[in-house]
Amino acid sequence: MKPGATGHRRAATTLVNFDGIPGPTHNYSGLARGNLAAEKHAQQRSNPRAAARQGLAKMRELAALGYAQAVLPPHERPNLPALRTLGFEGDDAAVLARAAREAPALLAACSSAAAMWVANAATVSPSADTADRRVHFTPANLVSHFHRALEADTTTRVLRAIFADADRFVVHDPLPAAPQFGDEGAANHTRLDAGDGRAGVELFVYGRSAFGGGSVPARFPARQTREASEAVARRHGLDAGRTVFAQQTPAAIDAGVFHNDVIAVGEGPVLFCHEHAFVDTPAVLAAVASGVGPAFRAVTVPAAEVGFEDAVATYLFNSQLLPRPDGRWLLVAPADVRTRPRVAAYLERLVAGGGPIAEVLSFDLRESMANGGGPACLRLRVPLTAAERAAIGPRVWLDDALAADLDAWIGRNYRDRLVPGDLADPALVDESRRALDELTTLLQLPPLYPFQRG
């Protein structure tokens, strides 16, 4: 587990947060077992327009603060090709009507807008860490849930369209779509470094070993396998001495911590985590500290101050850590952290304590939170050098002009209410396609969706 030497200095990188845009079919179907928020709000009315604008508001404010911010487009939903593969025939309206009548759960799965949580889109290793000095992406196969496994193909196309320069980027195929290689993307991966341009330490967190060994949760499934994490590390060409594999605590998974990013977040030399985030938290922290060096700071939250229930209810750890000019860190959290007295009190003590986290900035993300995703779920972290940033051609960098265009686009194309029964409406298909067709032009992307490619 212990990382090795610090390696050679390489070109300086800037962390870019690529946020997903919630799609026009954002709804509460309660599809994800073990995601307590999704289960709690199943079948309730959603507001796709508000979901998209809440995410955009977070992006705009962070960009205004000087942080590098980019966007990723939604997926096409309903996924009519998937429904046809499952035996529903006829034109679009006939497919929707029959699916709604005979298999509403399948219609809901094929209409999921969960791709908005791009922390699950892929695992990313920056060029500072990889053997060939290119940025590597492995799109997640998300095989633990059918509605999410549908995302892998589109995610791969989107990433290849944006990171198209083969001299600087490698977008791999997803891992084999089998339970033994269940891969949930960056939600179970964290990169830490000392900020000195040297290779970082990549921390992969898994819930179970596919071929036995170790304890497993009793109530909810462990989605990520160690074997998947090891495969991603190999294909990215990572230094084995600077790669840490850690098992998530089974009790945390059973409490609703379905991904590691619900119980830990790290950036630069700082890891903010619950004391029971990992099976052997002290050993994990020691391994990371060995690789990062003296700059490493672990902010470990005692269970006596914030228990699993409060952590899951508020998504305290499903936050973003962003560097401030003074060398300390900003914690970007959901507004829900203010609603639980114990969590709010802990944050007050944390900020006042003089440690690495100096400030908490909270956002209203209630539409995402009701489906089980906070600020960290909505973004994919991509560390890039200046040359790598310049190699990205599409109009995905968020500035005032793009933010205004996206806000107007949302207003033109999104409904302000949606219930599961609306998923059978053929008009929703037309609305979604029109929105996505317009968006690809707006973002200067090539055709991404089956309806665009014929």
Q: Which residues are catalytic?
A: 184, 259, 377
Determine the 3-state secondary structure of 303 from DSSP: coil
Is the Cβ–Cβ distance between 186 and 72 less than 8 Å? no
Count CB neighbours of 44 within 10 A. 14
Q: What would the two tokens of residue 367 be? A: 């539409």
Helix residue ranges, H only, 267-356: 281-292, 308-314, 341-352
Burial class (CB in 10 A: 0-12, 13-18, 19+), 332: buried
Q: Which amino acid is located at 444 in the chain?
A: Q
How would you class 131 by CB atoms within 10 Å of its CB: exposed for 0-12, middle for 13-18, buried for 19 or more? exposed
Cα distances (angstroms) measured from residue 351 to each of 58, 70, 408: 21, 28, 37
CA 66 to each of CA 223, 323, 449: distance values in angstroms, whole numbers, following the listed order: 35, 10, 32
Helix (H), strand (E) at residue 330: strand 329-334
Task: Round to whole Å and give the CA distance between 17 and 433.
Answer: 26
**SS3 string of 185-224?**
HHHHEEEECCCCCCCCEEEEEECECCCCCCCCCCCCCCCC
Strand 122-125 versus strand 135-139 pairing type = antiparallel
- Terminal Cα-to-Cα distance of the chain (whole angstroms): 49
Structure tokens at 107: 């219609």
> For the CA atoms of 387, 389, 391, 395, what is the dihedral angle to 10 degrees?
-160
Determine contact, residues 177/151, Cβ cutoff 8 Å: no
Cβ(244)–Cβ(287) below 8 Å: yes
Decide: helix, strand or coil at residue 349.
Answer: helix
Q: Hunting for tokens 């928020």 — which residue is that? A: 37
